[in-house]
Structure 1
Amino acid sequence: MNAHDFRGKRALVTGAGAGIGRATALKLAELGAEVVALSRTQENLDSLKAENPSIEIICVDLADWNATREAVQKVTPIHLLVNNAAVALLAPVLEATPQEFDSSFNLNVKSILNVTQVVASDLVDRKLKGSIVNLSSQAAQRALKDHIVYCGTKAAVDAFTRSMALELAPKGIRVNSVGPTVVMTAMGRIGWSKPEKSDPMRARIPQGKFAEVEDVVNAIVYLLSDKSDMINGHMLPVEGGFFCS
């Protein structure tokens, strides 16, 4: 028997077309949840649907506030929400552009507020309990070269998580975040594919390795589940001891 059983629960995963989001959607479906996968890339959603036909798919650009709200409202109620979608636009402090700043904060932060408002408001109206997990990063707590904007967005995610937890817990909705170290997804490879960058970072991790996608998914599942009932407003690091260094 699985340690986590999500039968009877509906889950929404954003950024579910690839990487951590896709793996999370598949895992939650495996554990019995009715899963709704959201992505802006139809091709990725189609391949996910082919892999698990039970997963409902939504193609919408989270940068579009109103279109996102309409799309999410159509699939409520959502008991389990994973705000995973993010972008990593890397640049040095002196070269980061307004466009990179706006694009990053719109997707990595603003969309979390938008989707959470729709999902949580619906749960409150229905008097249902829920659990929300936001995807943060070790970049929320440690400075990383060329990550000025990305670090800022992830620090904001953790601040949002605490504020959401404070206000929503009395209404029966827990909110936490997960903060991985480098995970070699397609997005992870953007910043860490070159040995001259990846080797020094790996050397700072006491376990001597980057995280696997499954490591992050396991943390997300735990925080969504009743097993973590008294955990609220926290960031769970998945970083092999990076914060100890």
Structure 2
Amino acid sequence: MSLPRTPSFRLEGRRALVTGASSGIGLACASALADAGAEVMMVARGADRLEEAAAELRSGGAKVGSRALDIADIPALRAFVAADGPFDILVNAAGMARHGAALDTTEADFDAVAAVNIKAAYFTAQAVAQGLIAAGKPGSLIQISSQMGHVGGVDRAVYCATKHAVEGMTKAMAMEWGPQGIRVNTICPTFILTPLTQSTFDDPARRAWIEEKIKLGRVGRVEDVMGAVLYLASDAGAMVTGTALKVDGGWTAG
């Protein structure tokens, strides 16, 4: 009898691009991919913190490079991916939020959030896909979306709008690029404790509200996203495309 074998989660021989990689979820994703054997290019706007993070990973034996880049600068983004690609894996963890009441949203705030969360996300995926198709290679493109791409949230109208858009474009791209062997998915975390979200969790009332909504009764950690990104990036997720992997502790289940 020939028994089936679990597909490999290893990523040796593959190159990954991780944006928003200097801290939080992006750094955790870069670490997970590097631990699995991928060669990882880490991208973020702030050069100093990015290189510090990359150096820390390299000190542990990871094959990691870094490049300071604002992915909202589309010409610079395209030039970088064309020169350094092709990348077998994309994890787009760069994102922005300017929360506030919908009645108070300014055009400047809307444009700033949309420029990163929609436009840059779209053209980053496009650039990586173009490189893969030109090279005749399959790949896995992963957008770090949010549970707010599936529900609404008070003071989060703009953020929710952008993450809903990411969910829609991911499905369309998965349909278009599937014949070329390119998978496109999102990971949708709940509230994750990071340096950027610390102020939210420091508010006892807000933290209690978050923990009440999360059915597992605790806030998310960056480690909770690491297994999800490895699954989607590797052969273990070879039949998964056009879908959203919710790492939300049951928030959206109810």
TM-score (normalizing by structure 1): 0.96
2:89 alignment counterpart: 80
Distance in 1, Cα, partners of 2:202 & 2:81: 35
Distance in 2, Cα, partners of 1:190 & 1:153: 22
Say if 2:20 and 2:94, in contact at 8 Å, map to a contact too. yes
**Superimposed CA distance per residue, residues 117-152 of structure 1 (whole angstroms, 9 cap, x where no aligned partner):** 111111111110100110111111111111111111
2:73 alignment counterpart: 64
2:35 alignment counterpart: 30
Listed as ranges, the matches of 1:161-172 within 5 Å are 161-172=170-181
Higher mean Cα deviation, 189-198 or 54-63? 189-198
Local SS of the residue matching 1:146: coil
Local SS of the residue matching 1:186: coil
Structure 1 unpaired stretches of 5+? none
* 1:42 partnered with 2:51: no
* 1:9 partnered with 2:14: yes
Counterpart amino acid of residue 4 in structure 1: F
Distance in 1, Cα, partners of 2:100 & 2:199: 12
Local SS of the residue matching 1:11: strand
1:229: Cα distance to partner?
Answer: 1.1
Local SS of the residue matching 1:174: strand
1:105 alignment counterpart: 114
1:189: Cα distance to partner?
Answer: 2.8
Counterpart amino acid of residue 184 in structure 1: L
| Cα gap change, 1:195 to 1:206, in 2 (>3 Å) | same
Local SS of the residue matching 2:155: coil
Distance in 1, Cα, partners of 2:126 & 2:215: 38
Say if 1:14 and 1:82, in contact at 8 Å, map to a contact too. yes
Distance in 1, Cα, partners of 2:123 & 2:72: 10
| Cα gap change, 1:102 to 1:69, in 2 (>3 Å) | same
Say if 1:90 and 1:191, in contact at 8 Å, map to a contact too. no
Higher mean Cα deviation, 40-49 or 171-180? 40-49
Local SS of the residue matching 1:6: coil
**Which residue, out of 152, 165, 176, partners 1:156?**
165
Say if 2:146 and 2:189, in contact at 8 Å, map to a contact too. yes
Distance in 1, Cα, partners of 2:53 & 2:188: 25
1:175: Cα distance to partner?
Answer: 0.4
| Cα gap change, 1:242 to 1:203, in 2 (>3 Å) | same
Where in structure 1 do 4 or more consecutive aligned residues deviate above 3 Å?
Answer: 190-193
* 1:20 partnered with 2:29: no
| Cα gap change, 1:228 to 1:88, in 2 (>3 Å) | same
Say if 1:58 and 1:71, in contact at 8 Å, map to a contact too. no
Local SS of the residue matching 2:192: coil
Q: Could you say what the CA RMSD is over the residues aligned between the two structures, in angstroms? A: 1.4
**Which residue, out of 127, 131, 137, partners 2:136?**
127
2:3 alignment counterpart: none
**Which residue, out of 208, 226, 233, partners 1:224?**
233
